[in-house]
Amino acid sequence: MDYKNLKNIKFADFSEVKTDENSKKWKNSIARQEKLYGKDYDFRNPFERDLHRIIHSNGYRRLKNKTQVFFAPHNDHICTRIEHVTHVSSVAETIAKFLNLNIYLVRAIANGHDIGHAPFGHQGEYVLRDIAKEHQINDFWHERNSLHFIDDIETLPDYNGFQQNLNLTYAVRDGIVCHCGEVDDKIIKPRSRNIKLTNIQKGKHNAYTYEGCVVKIADKIGYIGRDIEDALAYDILSEAQTDDLEEIIKTTYPDIKLSEINTTVLMHKFIIDLCTNSSPDKGLCFSEECFKVMNTIKSFNYKNIYAHSRLTPFKKYVKLILNTIFVKLDEYYNRDIATIIERDRNFYPKLIKNFEEWLIKYSDYNLDKKNQLKLKNKLIYKISEQNEFRNAIIDFISGMSDNFAIDIFNEIICF
C-alpha cells in the first residue's frame, strides 16, 4: 500500500453502522439507568453530555497524578495516565473521522476509559487484585473498576446542589468496560446483544458499538509508541535492545530510523493501516504486516521495558504502600468505628478525614450526615458486612492518585 498519496486512497464508509439516530442500536445506546436531570434546553447530544460529565469528575482530574509506566518522573515530558487518555482520545477521534463513525461517542469512551485505574499504574492494579483474591472478594481489574467508578463512585452536583451519580449512557459505559487494549484479536467487530454490563468478563466481550471497538484498538495504539519514547528518553534500553527494536520496525516500515521512533510516527502508521484495511462487513482490522509488527513491538515492550530491573524497587514500594493502607483500614472493621475514627483523627488526620468522608458518601455509616451534605448518590456498602467493608477500602485506595497514596502511607508510618 502506497501511504504517501493518501488523497487517492478510498477509505471504507462505516456510516451505515454508525451509532446515530438511524442505527438499530440507538435506543439501547443512549439509554441511562435513571432519567438524567436537565433543563428545558441543551445544545448537546447524549454523548457530548457524557463527555462533559466525565471530564468534570474528580476521578478524571486525578489521572494527571497516576503512573502510566514510569513512576514519579522528574522529567515533565514523561507520560502520565492523563496524557495516555488524551492520546487514546486523539487516535480514536482520527479513526472515527475517517471511517464516518460517531466522534462524540468515541471521545466520551476514550476520556472515561481509565477513570477507575489504580494508583501506580498496572502494578497498583496487580496489588489490589492480590488483596481482593486473598480476602475472597470481587476480582479487581481496572476496566470493570472504571465502570464501577462511572456508575457508582463519581458524582456531580445537580442544578439544586445535590451530588448525584454520573448516570451515563449504555454505549459509553459499555465502551469503557470493554476497552481492554491487551487483547490481540486480529479482527474486531461489535457484539449484537446489549447485555448487562456488570456481567462482562475481562477480555471476553467486544463492545456493543463500532465506536467502542475503535477505542479498544486506540488504547493499544496509544501506549505502544509512547512507552518506547519514554524508555528512550530515560536511556534504559541497551544497544542490543535498541538494535532489536529497530530491526522489528524495519521489517514493515523500512523508512523509520531508531532516532525517529516516537509515538507520533507509529500512531500515524497504525491508524492509516487500520483505516485502509477495515470495512463494516470485515470489521476493524490491520494488514498482516502491521498486525505482526504491533504485537512484536508489544512483546518487546513487555520484555525490555515493563520488566526492566529499574522498575523492580518501584514494584516492591507499591506493594508496601497499598498493603499498609489496606491493613490499617481493615483494622476498623467490627469495632465501634465512630469512636475509633475519633481516636485516630489526631494520629492520621488525612487518612481519617478522607476515609470517613468516603464512608459517609457511599455507605450506611452516618446517614444523617449524608443528608446534611446533600448527597443523593447510591449507597453501595453495608459496613456491618466484612466483604462490603473491604470493598469500600479497595475502592477508596483504587481512586487515589500516586501522591495521595504516598502521603497516606507516610502518615501511617511516621510519628
pTM of the entire structure? 0.94
- Give the separation between CA 252 and CA 230, rounded to whole angstroms: 22
Domains present along the chain, CATH in parentheses: 21-115+154-307 (1.10.3210.10), 311-413 (no CATH)
Burial class (CB in 10 A: 0-12, 13-18, 19+), 111: buried
Question: pLDDT of the chain along its 415 residues, tens only?
Answer: 445 555 666 778 999 999 999 999 999 999 999 989 877 778 899 999 999 999 999 999 999 999 999 887 778 888 999 999 999 999 999 999 999 999 999 999 999 999 999 999 999 999 999 999 999 988 899 999 999 999 999 999 999 999 999 999 999 999 999 998 565 678 999 999 999 999 988 878 899 999 999 999 999 999 988 898 899 888 999 999 988 988 888 887 887 776 666 678 888 889 999 999 999 999 999 999 999 989 999 999 999 999 999 999 999 999 999 999 999 999 999 878 888 888 899 999 999 999 999 999 999 999 999 999 999 999 999 999 999 999 999 999 999 999 999 999 999 999 8
Burial class (CB in 10 A: 0-12, 13-18, 19+), 191: middle
Instruction: Name residue 155's beta-bridge partners.
Output: 165
What's the longest Cα–Cα distance across the chain?
73
